[in-house]
């Protein structure tokens, strides 16, 4: 992929209906890593909690135009994208306003493909983005469905703990439904094991289970449990700014490498 050209960006929805599995952390630190490697990257904060916006340093008073305006008020990417402290990294921030969007979406026609229509618009190409990462809320609501309809692929963070695989069948069912209806080409970009503690035998068992069940869909990169990762957002920084030598930063940079390899060489895995 050439950088900053006017071809369509690759759109990846980061989704798992479970909360606290590392979606937002991955959106922030994968996004920042891609930007640090020179790829113009946009994170769309699709969670009313706005954690991705906070973690990327967008203060509440800077959130003038938000994902809500993009989705429901006819605003464009150019209107709503804000830059971050990291060159090449942009975010469409969200606020609690977005929590009413789900209900409002239900009354719209083509309610599942609003985001797709917006991102497929020619003005998106004018931004010269290489990647768009969508940080989904912890549900399979219409917001998440909009992300999956708009996306080329879904990246699924999986917390290395008991029951992690259980919620996955529901997520896979949703992906299948979306393939059958609005987005036949939706791929699974990869399943990412997060918050891994190698000393914990249960975590090892989850990893082995995931590899057995999902095979190549699981990234080789594993994100370790690392306290620096959890500290970074309270400093409004990505892990790469907060502590570039931490295990967390190194792991997310390794993910960047693997992500780019999958996207450039194999073009993603279609399961």
Residue for token pair 């917006």? 118
29 touches Mg ion (CB under 5 A): no
CB contact at 8 A, 229 and 246: yes
CB contact at 8 A, 148 and 15: yes
**Of the ranges 35-43, 44-52, 90-98, 160-168, which one interacts with Mg ion (CB under 5 A)?**
44-52
Range 31-70, binding ligand ADP (CB under 6 A) = 51
Nearer of residues 50 and 124 to Mg ion, judged by Cβ:
50
CB contact at 8 A, 177 and 40: no
The closest of 270, 264, 201, 260 to 37, measured between CA atoms, is 260
18 touches Mg ion (CB under 5 A): no
Distance, CA of 160 to CA of 195 (rounded, Å):
6
Taking the complex as a whole, how short is the minimal distance between the CB of residue 250 and ligand ADP, in angstroms?
A: 12
The closest of 82, 85, 8 to 45, measured between CA atoms, is 82
94 touches Mg ion (CB under 5 A): no
**Of the ranges 145-153, 170-178, 225-233, 263-271, which one interacts with ligand ADP (CB under 6 A)?**
225-233
Distances (CA, A) of 141 to 34, 128, 144, 162: 28, 30, 5, 24
Taking the complex as a whole, how short is the minimal distance between the CB of residue 65 and ligand ADP, in angstroms?
A: 23
22 touches ligand ADP (CB under 6 A): yes
- From residue 110 to residue 149, the character string flagging contacts with ligand ADP as x (rule: CB under 6 A) and all else as - is ----------------------------x-----------
Among 20, 167, 244, 268, binds ligand ADP (CB under 6 A): 20
Taking the complex as a whole, how short is the minimal distance between the CB of residue 194 and ligand ADP, in angstroms?
A: 5
263 touches ligand ADP (CB under 6 A): no
Length of the chain measured in residues: 271
23 touches ligand ADP (CB under 6 A): yes
Among 16, 17, 24, 160, binds Mg ion (CB under 5 A): 24
112: its two tokens: 């599942």
230 touches ligand ADP (CB under 6 A): yes
DSSP 103-147: HHHHTSTTGGGHHHHHHHSHHHHTTT-SEEEEE--SS-SHHHHHH
Nearer of residues 183 and 226 to ligand ADP, judged by Cβ:
226
DSSP reduced 3-state for 183 = coil
Give the number of other CB atoms < 10 A from CB of residue 126. Answer: 12
Nearer of residues 39 and 225 to ligand ADP, judged by Cβ:
225
Taking the complex as a whole, how short is the minimal distance between the CB of residue 138 and ligand ADP, in angstroms?
A: 5
Binding-site ranges for ligand ADP (CB under 6 A): 19-25, 51, 138, 194-195, 223, 225-226, 229-230, 233, 248
């Amino acid at each position: 992929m050439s950088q900053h050209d006017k071809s369509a960006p690759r759109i990846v929805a980061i989704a798992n209906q479970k909360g606290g599995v590392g979606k937002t952390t991955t959106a922030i630190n994968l996004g920042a890593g891609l930007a640090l490697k020179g790829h113009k990257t946009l994170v769309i904060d699709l969670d009313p909690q706005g954690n991705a916006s906070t973690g990327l340093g967008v203060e509440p008073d800077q959130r003038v135009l938000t994902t809500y305006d993009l989705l429901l008020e006819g605003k464009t990417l150019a209107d709503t994208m804000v830059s971050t402290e990291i060159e090449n990294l942009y975010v469409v921030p969200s606020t609690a306003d977005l929590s009413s969007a789900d209900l409002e979406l239900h009354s719209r026609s083509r309610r599942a493909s609003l985001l797709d229509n917006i991102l497929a618009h020619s003005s998106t190409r004018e931004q010269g983005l290489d990647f768009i990462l969508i940080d989904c809320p912890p549900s399979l609501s219409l917001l998440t469905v909009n992300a999956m309809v708009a996306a080329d692929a879904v990246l699924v963070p999986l917390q290395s703990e008991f029951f992690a695989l259980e919620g996955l069948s529901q997520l896979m069912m949703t992906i299948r439904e979306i393939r059958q209806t609005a987005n036949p080409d939706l791929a699974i970009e990869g399943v990412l094991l997060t918050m891994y503690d190698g000393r914990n035998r249960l975590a090892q068992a989850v990893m082995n289970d995931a590899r057995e069940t999902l095979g190549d869909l699981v990234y080789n990169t594993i994100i370790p449990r690392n306290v620096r990762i959890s500290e970074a957002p309270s400093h409004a920084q990505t892990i790469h700014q907060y502590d570039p030598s931490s295990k967390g930063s190194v792991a997310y940079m390794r993910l960047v490498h693997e992500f780019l390899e999958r996207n450039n060489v194999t073009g993603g895995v279609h399961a």
